[in-house]
Structure 1
Amino acid sequence: MAERRLTTIGFDADDTLWQNEQFFRMTQERFANLLADFAEPGPLSERLLAAERRNLGHYGFGIKGFVLSMIETAIEVTDARVPASVIRDLIEAGQDMLSHPIELLPQAREAVEALAGSHRLVLITKGDLLDQERKLAQSGLGELFSGVEIVSHKTPAVYAEVFVRTGDGPERAMMVGNSMKSDVLPALSVGSWGVHVPHDLTWELEHDAAPVGHARYREIEALGELTPLVEEIG
């Protein structure tokens, strides 16, 4: 039997295996309602996104950084007159997000189960450590993964190191995720396959142009298409 070209498959977690961004959008609507007397929703959203972008280097990705960026934006748009009750409500909104039950995306469980017997699966995700561990535990998928990597940033160096340590190197690995910027492009840059699974609510800061024509780039509409793709690659 010929040697497999692909032995290790990395999966993103948020908005690839389970819902995530929808809870950020719901909280952002709550944020807009709380500050309706001070700012219109459109400009407020732009100010919040700018704060999130500015704060990534300080807080990283995840709910805690999002809440701090909301509080910072609330202080800015109210000229430091934001009521303490609004700050309290924003903290409670973050706590609600941190306790929200996991909702697996369609075909996620089936795809992971189908590939776990034939390939080494690695969960590669970024965000708050405790929150990501909580979500993985609730998902019921944890035992199907050979490794779990919760990282600060998804860079080419991170993918190269993970795929060497957990598999047979990046050339025999694939990364599957909804973020072109974090999941697909950096994996392709180190010689892996990169599979984009679009999600309707992907965060603006995760957008990037598709590498159309790249030999190892693929796009599928849903995770149900992943197993046939892996079999095709061999």
Structure 2
Amino acid sequence: MGIPRLTTIGFDADDTLWQNERFFRQTEKLFAALLADQVQEEVVLAALLEAERRNLCIYGFGIKGFTLSMIETAIAVTGGRVSGDTLARILAAGRDMLAHPIEIMPYVRDTLEHLSGRYRLVLVTKGDLFDQERKLAQSGLAGLFDAVEIVSDKSAETYRRVFSRHGDGPVSSMMIGNSLKSDVVPAIEAGGWGVHVPHELTWVLEHLEPPREISRFREIAHLGELPALIASIEAGK
């Protein structure tokens, strides 16, 4: 029996289509600097990561949850002695992140334009609804997608639902993204193809070992390589 024809391609957004983690790292540095006269940077950043890990199930992914985690961490690591001025500056840093201009990754527009019309293109992104809608609108890429799904988390069941709603089911679908944990492995578990596009700053909580032994796993250096990869898969290579 041959490989089912690929009809639907899903794309992650943050750090796949546009830069994202870079701004979190910059804000982390600023946050640590605000507390530097009281707590060492490594202590602050370790405490922040643990707060983010705890709070994911409460706040979800995104800048607003990150900002709340910074405030919680500042209070905790200073024993409640953090000043009102420092808290105000943390809030301002979060607002600055929400207003940051979109920086499209290389090859993105050309690749989407090449694939548009040949396949159903679906944006599958997780995080805060308002912020993801803002970034998509500012990116100028919205018109290249046949559907947009902003989800609270990404699991095999998420991809089964999305690719059944907007395509011919997971087996005829491919998911592209920088996160092995969120974009690639669960899409493969759902029955689809998973294509990893590494990003130099992928968040530590998204790290996972590449499933190189799985036949539906692929890895490319950048999105410019995607059309050739798809062609090779469709040729049965």
TM-score interval w.r.t. the shorter chain? Answer: over 0.9
CA positional deviation for 1:40: 1.0
CA positional deviation for 1:4: 6.5
What is the letter of the counterpart of residue 60 of structure 1? G
Quote the residue 1:124 is aligned against.
Answer: 124
> Which aligned pairs between 1:1-234 and structure 2 lie closer than 5 A?
5-234=5-234
Does the 8 A contact of 1:5 with 1:233 survive in 2? Answer: no
CA positional deviation for 1:192: 0.4
TM-score between both structures, scaled by the size of structure 2: 0.96
CA positional deviation for 1:191: 0.8
What is the letter of the counterpart of residue 73 of structure 2? T
Q: State which drifts further: 2-11 or 48-57.
A: 2-11
What is the letter of the counterpart of residue 160 of structure 1? R
TM-aligned CA distance change 1:25 to 1:206, over 3 Å? same
CA positional deviation for 1:127: 0.7
Q: State which drifts further: 34-43 or 140-149.
A: 34-43
Q: Which runs of 5+ in 1 are unaligned?
A: none
Percent identity over the alignment is 61
CA positional deviation for 1:117: 1.9
CA positional deviation for 1:150: 0.3
SS in 2 for 1:185: helix
CA distance in 1, matches of 2:99, 2:123: 21
SS in 2 for 1:10: strand
SS in 1 for 2:131: helix
CA distance in 1, matches of 2:71, 2:129: 22
TM-score between both structures, scaled by the size of structure 1: 0.98
Deviations 1:61-110 (A, max 9, x none): 00000000000000001101100001100100000000000000011111
What is the letter of the counterpart of residue 29 of structure 1? K
TM-aligned CA distance change 1:3 to 1:41, over 3 Å? closer
Kindly tell me the number of residue pairs found equivalent between the two proteins.
233
Does the 8 A contact of 2:52 with 2:66 survive in 1? Answer: yes
CA distance in 2, matches of 1:55, 1:195: 29
What is the letter of the counterpart of residue 178 of structure 2? N
TM-aligned CA distance change 1:32 to 1:3, over 3 Å? closer
CA distance in 1, matches of 2:158, 2:223: 24
CA distance in 2, matches of 1:63, 1:82: 21
RMSD of aligned residue pairs (Cα, Å): 1.1
CA positional deviation for 1:148: 0.2
SS in 2 for 1:176: strand
Q: State which drifts further: 39-48 or 65-74.
A: 39-48
Deviations 1:36-60 (A, max 9, x none): 0121111211110000000000000
Q: Which runs of 5+ in 2 are unaligned?
A: none
Does the 8 A contact of 1:111 with 1:224 survive in 2? Answer: yes
